[in-house]
């Protein structure tokens, strides 16, 4: 089921428990007009918002009504605003930044925003801090083809700088609270989601960042407790040759923890970074210890996802860490997005999401995007590309591995629709790497994934 329909009908997973965030204290940083715009829009979203009007009734499921974010609504929670947690940035700062080069502009704005974020973190007990991103030519629009890194620079530099603080950030664009916002001079207007979809995505993210659990994987009593671990690599800015490993681990509830590992070397044959046996063992050990710290016990099963091959030293290192903690059930899965194999239906529509085919003994093809009967359409704009799963030493049946990977694509709290492409273990890596590559390797970092998304 689409998670939005589940929340609208039953509420979030943790509803009614002591852990559910029933009152979310929100801080807001930005210009005075932006703060007012954000407040007004979030105030509007306390009440229901009608979903997008569609031509075909079956496609109504793709654009459900937003039920309103209030104590009596579906989320059973309310956003709390106070004058003391609204920190405005002087218009003079923006005027100065507008006269600077893009890099200097970003540096000026990050410094100004961080000054207010620091104040809120030290003097106010906020659960989430919303940063209203300014709209100016130096930053460029969202996903600009002309300046593709401009928005990422501001967003990523700000979030990276804030990783030392305990409160997660939510950076939002002017189009979120005011879809009539004109684009910066020289740029085309970007496509904006309908109001109900924007409300669903933003409030789900705020609920998760405040410590809530919107939904989880479907589990049976026979399933063992599992740690889902994604291993990825990044290189620090200014040092393109040094690759560092990082692990993103999640449990069945989507509670995520980030662990930074050691260096990695790029191999000549596949041009991909890989770990030595000792470094693979140390990274897996650190991840399992982080899991125990969060959940008070070690998992019974370890599933490791990687977007490149598992070399023998990496396999031996991970197995060694699992043996150390008496974890017998270990699944290593290489997940590829560029395999040439495709499937076709006997119609003009793409394959159904969830379509699975075992191509060979260790080649499992699964469509995580595609046509969805519940939506009555293929919700994507492009031809869907399947994942190729290459499990190594797995103890589970191929169809179970494919189904589990498909389920993990739904644990994306920035996207409340059900058709994610990558499992959260690998989807998270792009968010984590974009921030960590900007930090000193010795810098203390936030552990919760909520700080990176």
Token code pair at residue 183: 């684009």
**Taking CA 137 as the corner, what is the angle to CA 132 and CA 139, rounded to the nearest 5 degrees?**
50
Give the model confidence (pLDDT) of 188-244 as tens digits. Answer: 666 788 999 999 999 999 999 999 999 998 877 667 899 999 999 988 777 766 688
Question: Do the domain assignments include residue 218?
Answer: no
Rounded CA gap, 60 and 312, in Å? 49
Asked if pLDDT for residue 181 goes beyond 50, the answer is: yes
Q: Is there a single domain that holds both residue 183 and residue 233? A: no
10 contacts: CB under 8 Å, gap ≥ 6? none
Asked if pLDDT for residue 99 goes beyond 50, the answer is: yes
Give the model confidence (pLDDT) of 44-93 as tens digits. Answer: 999 999 999 887 777 888 999 999 999 999 999 999 999 999 999 999 99
Rounded CA gap, 118 and 412, in Å? 28
List the one residue out of 327, 332, 223, 242 whose CA is nearest residue 285. Answer: 327
Q: Is there a single domain that holds both residue 17 and residue 123? A: yes
Per-residue confidence (pLDDT) for residue 361, from 0 to 100: 84
H or E segment and range at residue 29: strand 23-30
Do 406 and 366 contact (CB within 8 A), yes or no? yes
Q: Is there a single domain that holds both residue 404 and residue 353? A: yes
Backbone φ/ψ region at 76: left (φ over 0), alpha (ψ -120 to 50), beta: left
Rounded CA gap, 75 and 26, in Å? 16
Q: Is there a single domain that holds both residue 324 and residue 370? A: yes
For the ranges 83-87, 162-166, 271-275, the lowest mean pLDDT is seen at: 271-275
pLDDT, average across residues 331-336: 95
Question: Do the domain assignments include residue 78?
Answer: yes
Rounded CA gap, 250 and 425, in Å? 7
Asked if pLDDT for residue 145 goes beyond 70, the answer is: no
Q: Is 305 exposed, middle or buried (0-12, 13-18, 19+ CB in 10 A)?
A: buried
36 contacts: CB under 8 Å, gap ≥ 6? none
For the ranges 143-147, 288-292, 311-315, 405-409, the lowest mean pLDDT is seen at: 143-147
Do 36 and 43 contact (CB within 8 A), yes or no? no
137 contacts: CB under 8 Å, gap ≥ 6? 98, 184, 185, 186, 187
Q: Is there a single domain that holds both residue 255 and residue 157? A: no
Q: Is there a single domain that holds both residue 388 and residue 247? A: yes
Do 356 and 331 contact (CB within 8 A), yes or no? no
pLDDT, average across residues 326-333: 94
* Chain-centroid distance, C-alpha 415: 8
Domain termination residue (choose one: 155, 176, 209): 209
For the ranges 41-55, 86-100, 406-420, the lowest mean pLDDT is seen at: 406-420
Q: 146: domain range?
A: 3-209
Domain termination residue (choose one: 209, 239, 267): 209
Can you give the CATH number for the domain in which 432 is found?
3.30.420.10
- The neighbour count for residue 340, using CB atoms within 10 Å, is 5
For the ranges 84-93, 146-155, 260-269, 443-452, the lowest mean pLDDT is seen at: 146-155
**Of 150 and 377, the one with more pLDDT:** 377
Per-residue confidence (pLDDT) for residue 151, from 0 to 100: 47
Question: Do the domain assignments include residue 215?
Answer: no
| Residue written as token pair 């650190």 | 286
For the ranges 18-27, 59-68, 137-146, 251-260, the lowest mean pLDDT is seen at: 137-146
Domain termination residue (choose one: 209, 243, 260): 209
Rounded CA gap, 72 and 75, in Å? 8
Give the model confidence (pLDDT) of 114-132 as tens digits. Answer: 999 999 998 888 999 999 9
Question: How many domains is the chain partitioned into structurally?
Answer: 2
pLDDT tier at 333, thresholds 50, 70, 90: very high
List the one residue out of 195, 204, 105 whose CA is nearest residue 147. Answer: 105
Q: Is there a single domain that holds both residue 205 and residue 274? A: no
Question: Do the domain assignments include residue 217?
Answer: no
Can you give the CATH number for the domain in which 88 is found?
3.40.50.2300
220 contacts: CB under 8 Å, gap ≥ 6? none
List the one residue out of 427, 433, 441 whose CA is nearest residue 159. Answer: 433
Q: Is there a single domain that holds both residue 205 and residue 243? A: no
Do 138 and 102 contact (CB within 8 A), yes or no? yes
> Strand order of the sheet with strand 301-306?
273-274, 256-266, 243-250, 226-235, 301-306, 329-336, 387-392, 363-366, 356-360
Question: Do the domain assignments include residue 214?
Answer: no
Q: Is there a single domain that holds both residue 236 and residue 191? A: no
Per-residue confidence (pLDDT) for residue 199, from 0 to 100: 96
Question: Do the domain assignments include residue 297?
Answer: yes
Do 3 and 198 contact (CB within 8 A), yes or no? no
Q: Is there a single domain that holds both residue 298 and residue 433? A: yes
Rounded CA gap, 302 and 319, in Å? 10
Q: Is there a single domain that holds both residue 199 and residue 230? A: no
Q: What is the DSSP string of 333-396?
A: EEEES--------SSSSPPBTT-EEEEETTEEEE-SSSBBTTTTB--SSS----EEEEEES--S
Question: Do the domain assignments include residue 390?
Answer: yes
Rounded CA gap, 131 and 372, in Å? 35
Give the global pTM. Answer: 0.91
Q: Mean pLDDT of all residues in the chain?
A: 89
Q: Is there a single domain that holds both residue 252 and residue 164? A: no
Question: Do the domain assignments include residue 171?
Answer: yes
Give the model confidence (pLDDT) of 355-375 as tens digits. Answer: 999 998 889 999 999 999 888
């Amino acid at each position: 089921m689409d998670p939005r329909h589940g929340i609208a009908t039953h509420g979030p997973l943790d509803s009614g428990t002591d852990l559910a965030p029933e009152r979310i204290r929100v801080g807001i940083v930005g210009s005075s007009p932006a703060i007012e715009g954000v407040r007004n829009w979030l105030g509007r979203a306390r009440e229901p918002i009608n979903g997008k009007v569609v031509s075909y009734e079956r496609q109504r499921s793709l654009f459900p009504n937003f039920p309103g974010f209030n104590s009596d609504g579906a989320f059973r929670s309310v956003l709390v605003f106070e004058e003391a947690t609204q920190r405005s940035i002087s218009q003079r700062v923006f005027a100065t930044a507008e006269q600077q080069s893009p890099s200097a502009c970003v540096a000026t704005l990050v410094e100004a925003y961080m000054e207010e974020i620091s104040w809120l973190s030290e003097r106010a007990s906020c659960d989430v801090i919303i940063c209203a991103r300014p709209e100016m030519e130096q930053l460029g629009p969202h996903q600009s083809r002309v300046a593709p890194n401009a928005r990422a620079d501001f967003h990523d530099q700000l979030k990276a700088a804030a990783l030392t603080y305990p409160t997660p950030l939510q950076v939002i664009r002017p189009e979120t609270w005011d879809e009539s916002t004109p684009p910066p001079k020289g740029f085309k207007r970007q496509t904006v989601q309908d109001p109900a979809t924007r409300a669903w995505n933003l409030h789900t993210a705020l609920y998760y960042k405040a410590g809530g659990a919107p939904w989880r994987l479907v589990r049976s009593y026979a399933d063992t407790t599992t740690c889902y671990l994604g291993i990825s690599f990044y290189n620090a800015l200014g040092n393109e040759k040094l690759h560092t490993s990082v692990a993103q681990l999640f449990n069945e509830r989507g509670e995520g923890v980030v662990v930074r590992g050691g260096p990695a070397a790029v191999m000549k044959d596949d041009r991909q970074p890989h770990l030595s046996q000792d470094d693979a063992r140390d990274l897996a050990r650190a991840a399992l210890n982080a899991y125990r710290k969060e959940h008070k016990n070690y998992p019974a099963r370890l599933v490791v996802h990687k977007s490149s091959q598992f070399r023998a030293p990496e396999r031996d290192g991970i197995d060694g860490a699992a043996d150390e903690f008496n974890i017998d059930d270990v699944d290593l899965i290489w997940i590829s997005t560029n395999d040439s194999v495709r499937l076709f239906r006997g119609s003009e529509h793409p394959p159904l999401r969830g379509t699975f085919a075992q191509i060979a003994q260790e080649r499992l093809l699964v469509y995580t995007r595609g046509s969805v009967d519940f939506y009555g359409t293929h919700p994507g704009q492009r031809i869907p590309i399947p994942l190729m799963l290459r499990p190594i030493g797995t103890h589970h049946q191929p169809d179970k591995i494919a189904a589990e990977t498909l389920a993990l694509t739904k644990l994306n709290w920035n996207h409340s629709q059900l058709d994610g492409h990558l499992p959260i273990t690998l989807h998270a890596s792009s968010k984590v790497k974009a921030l960590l590559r900007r930090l000193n390797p010795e810098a203390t970092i936030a552990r919760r994934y909520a700080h990176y998304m």
